[in-house]
A and B are shown apart, each in its own frame.
Chain A
Amino acid sequence: MTVHIRMDDRVEADRLEDMAQGVVGKPLDRPDGARKASGTAAYAMDSLPDGACFGVLARATIAAGRLEGVDAAAVEALPGVRAVIVDERMLRNPAQGMAGKAPVQDPHEIAYFGQPVALVVAESFEQARHGAIALVLRLEARAGAVVGPDDAGVEIETPEKKQQSSGDLDAAMREAVFGVDQTYTTPVHASAAMEPHASIAQWDEDRLTLRGSYQMLRFNRAELADALGIDEKNVRILAPFVGGGFGSKLGIAPEAVAAAIAAQRLGVPVAVPMSRQQVFEGVMRRSETTQRIRLAAGADGRLTGIGHEALVSNLPGEKFSEPVTQATPFLYRGENRVIGHRIARVNRTCAGSVRAPGEAVGVTMLEIAMDELAAAAGIDPVELRLRNIPDEDPTQQIPFSSHKLAEALRSGADRFGWDRRRTEPGQVRDGEWLVGMGMASAVRVNMLVEAKARVSLSSDGHALVETDMTDIGTGTYAILTQIAAEMLGLPMDRVETRLGDTDLPPGSGSGGSFGAASNGTAVFMACEEIRRMICERFGCEAHDLTLKDGRAIAGNRSVPLAEILGGEDLVAEGHAEPGDAEDKVRQATYGSYFAEVGVNAVTGETRVRRMLGVFAAGRILNAKTARSQCLGGMTFGIGMALTEEIFHDPRDGHIVNRDFAEYHLPVNADVPQIDVVLLEERDAWANPLQAKGIGELGICGAAAAVVNAIHNATGVRVRDLPATLDKVLEGLERQGG
């Protein structure tokens, strides 16, 4: 029995509020936590079947051109080597998120330096790796490869659908009392998930089972099947534990298809792990961005115009382009608007979704521009934002579903001690350190994605939740278990959640912060149906039924569930789908960030001293996992502000810093005390849980708080991230400091 909900309207009843178990929202430990901490949770490479061979991908070493062939014989003669495979079906790059079909295939056409073009399979991993390094490729470089968005001859697309304008921004800029017109840049980022990509493929006749590290299994199954030219019914993907994805594992990637091809050809299971270096260059990057931002404001700081025009890049033929301006149309007021979006086609590692595509870089730069406006207008940055919160979505002229930006700003300022900030930059000194405070708004669009989940209540009063949804470290196991436990009135340890298996009902997959709300709704719907079945058996009305601690209670009757079930299991499937609500209201999550930094007056080094994030994302399903998501987002915000940057070689576009020694994520010493405050909120337009996504909210502007604090500390405005010490130093030297 499938029960369905399509979100066309607001959901009046807040059903979770009526429940009695009292687990939803609690800061509960993850049910899978102990397994992870003790090393017994099996990640992709942890479940090697007997007799598996290993494959290692070999990379193209030109920016563009053709692979004419490989000297396979020399490598095949090496000890342990079983095969050298170059196959038309191999992927140029991973599928984009939710593509559901294969990306560009054929290793003979080379589009970027580092593209995987061949697979060497051997009995041991070491033999395969040596074979892959030793393999000589016959490459025909194509003249005129374009490796950077600023290179001569670069082709730039201006897709009609992605340009917007209303009013007259030029006039607004001319008439503005205060204005900002600046160009900002962000570098290429790596997703940098802890677990590198790895796939183990095994065939049983014409059925393929793939253990992998993927975020969106129902799409990945379709992508893998399409790439191999087989029916997706014959593909099963397993990813019970995923060591982070940050977007890089949204779509099926080259190692999975290569593993499947090799396993089929050799008739043995084949494991293809990617090295850290291969993940950096052969998976996905976040595009660099150049953003021209214009703000026009009156004497009171109220915006009359906003312009946000972005240039991003991607490989030829890729549909995805970093949606830099996603939140700009609705974050602040202003009648006169220009949104621009251009895409440079470059021969560089594929650009795709990385950690909050769009807002992470777009809101960050907009929030730096807002800081510049605040300084120009002499208005407190918090106050400036408060004055510019619109009453409705100013572009679409539709209401907001719920909106807590003002509360987040006020409450954050209060808790952080914002009133102690000196307006004039460079006023606070602590030895060699210049100290300053900065802030920024947080915003991320909210989405619901189709999802199904099955809930079974067994006759002995245990429940099982099943979906192919993944837990990529976010806490899916915890929150789905909590929702079912709450709805069915069971203690947490009587509910089991099974994830990451395409044989289970298709969930939304993990991405875009929509996992908890989408799959949670599917679980909720299934539980509602089971409750209905219990009412039937129990002979009571839905609103009279209380389920708690394994008992059904109605009126003065209290009976163990097992008694009601009478040896029977109850099974229901929930199905959630987005609907017209998306067009009727603007749904987003909001928040605020506050940061205090010290900038070394000698060296220009910046260290964040403390940071606060205040967030509103509807109902919080688990206060602990939600907080962890925010902590992680803000940590990546520190990385974006200060350290993270991929260097592409200017001559061939290859990624120069391809490991964690030289791609600088923040380490513990870079991350100070971070406080997270989650505001009480319900969003009845979002879903019956009234919960919104929180996964990415922590990064959507966080870096701006840090960069704005650098300005407050020093008077140096960095518009080109990351704000590495050389850039700050240049400013300090210019000031004669």
Chain B
Amino acid sequence: MRPFEFTRAESAADAMRLAGDGATIIAGGTNLLDLMKLEVMAPQALVDINRLDLGDIDEAEGGGLRIGALVRNSDLAADRRVRDAYPMLAEALLAGASGQLRNKATTGGNLLQRTRCYYYYDTAMPCNKREPGSGCQAIGGITRLHALFGASEHCIATHPSDMAVALRALDARVEIQSQDGVTRMLPLGDFYRLPGDTPHIETVLVPGDLITAVLLPAPAGARQTYRKVRDRASYAFALVSVAGVLDVEDGRIVRPALAFGGVGHMPWRNPEVEALLEGEAPSVDLFAEAAARLVAEAEPQGGNAFKIPLLRRTLQAVLRELTEA
């Protein structure tokens, strides 16, 4: 770990100013500190935002919740309103990391956690995400954790968060304050970026931006689930995960929203698959068609080819579960 400056921000303005001057924001530190010890990240300065007043969950106008960026993953998962109206979000949170980590991890930090690509963590390896222009050593290497969708020849990493997958299916928006006083609200699909030829730039945030909250709209559907498939029963990142929300009205699927984890550089969504389901009567054939549509454009890397049948099967099971009685 390199020596760094450490400042505790007393106000959001403080934090944004320091971050604008190049300091890295630290919240729970559960990802950032690991990366700093390995010198995968080597910030000159840290600005600690834990004293900011961003730790509440409030009811928003018109239904929905406003989740402060510093709300801990454990607290969010335990919140009565979340458990009642957004059960899949609670499930996704509890499927992640471990109890100790969730007690520290924050909503903002969780969204911005870095990939778990093995090569990213090893500073001896070329990695465009860590060191732009150095190459991608994962390609041709061990790719069990890597992406099926939206990857590029420069990076095939996945985003590891469970929470973000649920949020994407729930049409959550990220509230961002910037130094010039402007507040933006971005759906996750616009917040995250695909790797393209700049895999080191993962979101649309610019230095000095501060995530202040995540906004959840009123729940789109009552039927929700988060299903995570992984290499052991707990404490492992998703190989694939499916977050699904829908309703069934008059025997037909309405307002389906599906997001997929472990398969892309961002929580993945495919509007075609949702369109295919909208207004249809649930059936085994329909689910098979939806799953086939989803994986049709998958581009496996060798070691992750198994994710194609796995994702197909998991999606079908999730749809069965969501549409059963």
Contact = CB atoms under 8 A, between A and B. Distances in A.
B124 interface: yes
Interface residues of B, number: 35
A651 B232 contact: no
Contacts of A604: 310
B233 A667 contact: yes
B32 to A, nearest CB: 15
B313 interface: yes
A607 B309 contact: no
A510 B137 CA distance: 40
A399 interface: no
Contacts of B124: 59, 61, 654
A666 interface: yes
B140 A664 contact: no
B1 A607 contact: no
B231 A725 contact: yes
B142 interface: yes
Contacts of B144: 647
A130 B116 CA distance: 22
Given A129-B37, A725-B239, A605 B229 contact: yes
B191 interface: no
Nearest to B318: A602
A379 interface: no
Contacts of A668: 234
B310 A726 contact: yes
A649 B306 contact: no
B39 interface: yes
B141 A651 contact: yes
Q: By DSSP majority rule, is chain A's interface helix, strand, loop, or mixed?
A: loop
Nearest to B119: A656
Contacts of B181: none
B232 A730 contact: no
B2 A669 contact: no
Contacts of B231: 643, 664, 724-725
A5 B317 CA distance: 66
A667 B233 CA distance: 7
A664 B236 contact: yes
Contacts of B140: 650-651
Contacts of B306: 725-726, 729-730
Interface string A579-609: 0000000000000000000000011110100
Contacts, number: 87
Contacts of A61: 124
B134 interface: no
B229 A133 contact: no
A126 interface: yes
Contacts of A129: 1, 37
A729 B311 CA distance: 11
Interface in A56-92: 59, 61, 79
Nearest to A639: B232
B150 to A, nearest CB: 22
B314 interface: yes
Contacts of A650: 140-142
Contact of B233 (A126, A607, A729, A730): A607
Interface in B111-162: 116, 118-119, 121-124, 137, 140-142, 144
B235 interface: yes
A661 interface: yes
A725 B229 contact: yes
A650 B119 CA distance: 13
Contact of B310 (A432, A603, A607): A603
Contacts of B62: none
Chain A CB within 10 Å, residue with most, of B142, B230, B231: B231
B3 interface: yes
B313 A133 contact: no
B313 A603 contact: yes
A91 B254 CA distance: 66
B2 A725 contact: no
Nearest to A602: B317
Contacts of B233: 607, 667, 669-670
A662 interface: yes
A642 B232 contact: yes
A130 B234 contact: no
Contacts of B229: 603, 605, 725
Interface string B312-325: 01101100000000
A603 B314 contact: yes
B234 A133 contact: no
B141 A669 contact: no
B104 to A, nearest CB: 15
Contacts of B142: 647, 649-650, 656-657
Contacts of B236: 661, 664
Given A642-B232, A662-B116, A126 B313 contact: no
A133 B123 contact: yes
A534 B116 CA distance: 66
A654 B122 CA distance: 10
Contacts of A659: 121
Given A656-B141, A657-B118, A432 B317 contact: yes
Contacts of A657: 118, 142
Interface in B63-114: none
A664 B310 CA distance: 20
A643 B234 CA distance: 12
Contacts of A667: 232-235
B39 A130 contact: yes
Given A79-B3, A602-B314, A729-B306, A670 B118 contact: no
A270 B322 CA distance: 60
A651 B124 CA distance: 14
A733 interface: yes
A25 B230 CA distance: 42
B232 A733 contact: no
Nearest to A642: B232
A643 B1 contact: no
Nearest to B321: A432
A642 B121 CA distance: 25
A528 B230 CA distance: 56
Interface string A679-693: 000000000000000
Contacts of A656: 118-119, 122, 141-142
10 contacts: A605-B229, A605-B230, A642-B232, A649-B142, A654-B122, A658-B122, A667-B235, A669-B232, A729-B309, A730-B306
Instruction: Give 8 nearest A-B pairs by CB, closest first.
Output: A726-B306, A669-B233, A669-B234, A61-B124, A602-B317, A647-B142, A656-B118, A656-B142
Interface of B: 1-3, 37-39, 116, 118-119, 121-124, 137, 140-142, 144, 229-237, 239, 306, 309-310, 313-314, 316-317
Given A129-B37, A647-B144, A654-B122, 15 more contacts: A61-B124, A602-B313, A602-B317, A607-B233, A643-B231, A643-B232, A649-B142, A656-B122, A656-B141, A659-B121, A661-B236, A664-B236, A667-B234, A729-B306, A729-B309
